[in-house]
Chains A and B, each alone.
Chain A
Amino acid sequence: VRLVVAAPLAGAAVGLDAVPDPVFAGAMVGPGVAVDPERAPSTVVAPIAGTLVKLKPHAFVVTTGGGDTERGVLVHLGIDTVTLDGEGFTLLAAEGDTVEAGAPVVAWDPAAVEASGRSPVCPVIALDAQPGDLDALAEGPVAQGDPLFTWS
């Protein structure tokens, strides 16, 4: 099954090696693409349809399928943003919700994150995938909902 993972927000698609965190940059969390977001308040949406199995202000995971075919996509809103304790983030969904691709999940302001001295870049990660499982990796400007990568 080819799963198209959509950009959860608008910005510039960049390789994970551009993420200022060695664990993400080294694809240790998993392969994927990061979005360097537009510096304006925005709503971050689900990159795939599925279940919102984990939701924190700074990160969420959507899964699709079950059993051995289950796939999970992590969206991480900025780097080191866990230390903001949710300040500046508004949850628009609840953990356990069933969501469509494009459903609002979190509202935030990347400019405020940047002003706090943190990077607002958002890694979008295919959990438990191998690098060769992904193709059609986007690069450059993306609108919210544009294909970011395909997971085979």
Chain B
Amino acid sequence: MVDMVDMVDRRVTVRTPDGLRARSAALFVQAAARAPARVVIAKGGDDPVSARSILAVLRLGVWPGDQVVLSAAGDGAGRALDELAALLAGEPDRTGA
């Protein structure tokens, strides 16, 4: 059976203490890599980059208060975005990671 899953988007204001620099970026990329869905992240009008690449995420230069857009397609896309959006919003980690 083939699932036709539409791309879903989520706009998030980043509230982690360091934006998406080394520490938060690492946690974000690890969470994205665990998700079965493929997730991309974009800041401003720039092209979206893979949420699984820490180099790409660091290069975005995301600071606290910046808005980013997460997009995902595939299995569990909505759930993946929920988890990643919560992480960026600085909500307590529910994954135990």
Contact = CB atoms under 8 A, between A and B. Distances in A.
A82 B18 contact: yes
B18 A70 contact: no
A143 interface: no
B55 A76 contact: no
B58 A61 contact: yes
B61 A29 contact: no
Interface residues of B, number: 14
A23 B27 contact: yes
B13 interface: no
A29 B25 contact: yes
A151 interface: no
Given A127-B54, A128-B53, A53 B26 contact: no
A61 B55 contact: yes
A28 B55 contact: no
A74 interface: yes
Interface in B1-30: 18, 21-23, 25-27, 30
A39 interface: no
Given A28-B30, A30-B54, A23 B59 contact: no
A21 B21 CA distance: 14
Contacts of B59: 53-54, 61, 72
Contact of B23 (A23, A30, A128): A23
Interface of A: 21, 23-24, 28-30, 53-54, 56, 59, 61, 63, 70, 72, 74, 76, 82, 127-128
Q: Sort A-B residue pairs by CB-CB distance and give the 5 closest, nearest first.
A: A72-B55, A28-B26, A127-B55, A29-B26, A23-B23
